[in-house]
Amino acid sequence: MFHKEGYTIIIVTFIIAAISAVLVNTFVTIPWLRIALISAVFMFLILILQFFRNPKRVTVLDEGSVVSPVDGKVVVIEEVQEKEFFNDKRLQVSIFMSPLNVHVTRHPIGGRVKLSKYHPGKYLVAWHPKASEENERTTVVVENNNVGPILYRQIAGALAKRIVNYAKENEQVIQGSDSGFIKFGSRVDVFLPVGTKLDVELNQKVRGGETIIARI
Q: List the catalytic residues.
A: 186
Specify the 3-state DSSP secondary structure of 186.
Answer: strand
Residues 6+ apart with CB under 8 A from 110: 61, 63, 142, 144, 172, 173, 174, 175, 177
- Asked whether 45 and 38 are in contact (CB, 8 A), the reply is no
Give the up-direction half-sphere exposure of residue 4: CA atoms within 13 A in the CB hemisphere.
6
Select from 204, 202, 188, 191 the least CA-distant residue to 95.
Answer: 188
Instruction: Report CA-CA distances (Å) from 32 to 16, 37, 42.
Output: 21, 9, 16
Q: Are strands 104-106 and 65-67 parallel, antiparallel or unpaired?
A: unpaired
In the chain, the N- to C-terminal Cα span, in Å, equals 33
d(CA 28, CA 26): 6
5: left (phi over 0), alpha (psi -120 to 50) or beta: alpha
